[in-house]
Amino acid sequence: MPKTLDAVTLALLGAFRLNGYIFVGTLVIAIPLGLAISFGSMSRFGPLRWFTKTFVWAIRGTPLMLQIMIAFFAPPLLFGIVLPRTETAIIAFGINYAAYFSEIYRGGIESIPRGQLEAGQVLGMTRSQIFRKIVLMQVIKRITPPMGNEIITLIKDTCLARVIAIMEINMKAQQFASKGLIWPLFYSGVFFLVFVGVLTVLFNYFERKLNYFR
């Protein structure tokens, strides 16, 4: 195994691309799916609300690591279907994060004062116009800080993909350690620090952009 800085950097970077891929894939699934789940949990139709809340409870109440393993082992053992590994992880992550996002969305939507909805209603707006034109922007402003937190947590959580033998950065760094080389473990942390640093700057910028109204 090569031990130079260049070689380790290259190896870790290659592995971190998988973390980045899982990160992006998860967001693509979880951001819209979370919205659908939050609508379900606020539905006026009792059974749908009950079903959604139970689902969110089950997802948030069990370890993500367990969910990844179930996503990996259940399809082949139960249905004889073999799915590609990384995509399997993305599906598990996507569903898990959608459950968390849905609760953030719900909190944001429910925090909008009734008067805002009523002001839209008396102006003859439809439910969908009120949501799109009045509620949405105010919700985005309110959920930006908690969403930032979750998204920062997500990049670190992607390491859990190693439980189904996805060679992501943490597993790669461990390989070096088990060969007697300790510093790549520390070095792998730098990748996260940089990534999270960029995310933090982005979220701060976004929050400032939304400061034009209260």
Partner 1 sequence: MAILEVKNISKRFGATVVLRDISFSMEQGQSMAIIGSSGSGKTTLLRCLNFLERPEKGKIIVGGQLLLDAEDPATQKESEIRRKRLHFGLVFQAFHLFPQYTALQNVALAMELLDREQPNYRKNAKEIDAHTREKALALLEQMGLSDKTGLYPHELSGGQQQRVAIARALALRPDVLCFDEPTSALDPELTGEVLKVIRNLAQQRTTMVIVTHEMAFARDVADRVIFMDEGVIVEEGPAHEVIDNPRQERTRQFLSRYSG
The distance of closest approach from Cβ of residue 112 to partner 1 in the complex, given in angstroms and rounded to an integer, is: 10
Q: Which stretch binds partner 1 (CB under 8 A): 132-140, 157-165, 174-182, 187-195?
A: 132-140
Is 74 one of the binding residues for partner 1 (CB under 8 A)?
no
Is 125 one of the binding residues for partner 1 (CB under 8 A)?
yes
Q: Which stretch binds partner 1 (CB under 8 A): 64-72, 118-126, 188-196, 201-209?
A: 118-126
The distance of closest approach from Cβ of residue 123 to partner 1 in the complex, given in angstroms and rounded to an integer, is: 4
Contacts of 47 (CB under 8 A, 6+ apart): none
Give the binding-site size for partner 1 (rule: CB under 8 A). 20
Structure tokens at 200: 């933090």
DSSP-derived letter for residue 25 is H
The distance of closest approach from Cβ of residue 150 to partner 1 in the complex, given in angstroms and rounded to an integer, is: 23
Is 172 one of the binding residues for partner 1 (CB under 8 A)?
no
Which is nearer to partner 1, 137 or 198 (by Cβ)?
137
Is 118 one of the binding residues for partner 1 (CB under 8 A)?
yes
Is 133 one of the binding residues for partner 1 (CB under 8 A)?
yes
Is 208 one of the binding residues for partner 1 (CB under 8 A)?
no
Distance between CA atoms of residues 152 and 149, nearest Å = 5
Positions in 97-116 near partner 1 (CB under 8 A): 113, 115-116
Name which position in 78, 178, 180, 212 contacts partner 1 (CB under 8 A). 212
In single-letter form, the type of residue at position 99 comes to: A
Q: Please state the separation of Cα 117 from the chain's center in Å.
A: 29
**Contact present, 188 and 199 (Cβ < 8 Å):** no
Which is nearer to partner 1, 125 or 163 (by Cβ)?
125
CB under 8 A, 24+ apart: contacts of 103-107: 103/38, 103/41, 103/56, 103/60, 104/34, 104/143, 104/146, 104/147, 104/150, 105/34, 105/35, 105/38, 105/139, 105/143, 106/38, 106/41, 106/42, 107/143, 107/146
The distance of closest approach from Cβ of residue 44 to partner 1 in the complex, given in angstroms and rounded to an integer, is: 12
Closest by CA position to 18, among listed 176, 166, 196: 166
Name which position in 36, 119, 194, 198 contacts partner 1 (CB under 8 A). 119
Distance between CA atoms of residues 136 and 77, nearest Å = 42
Which is nearer to partner 1, 110 or 200 (by Cβ)?
110
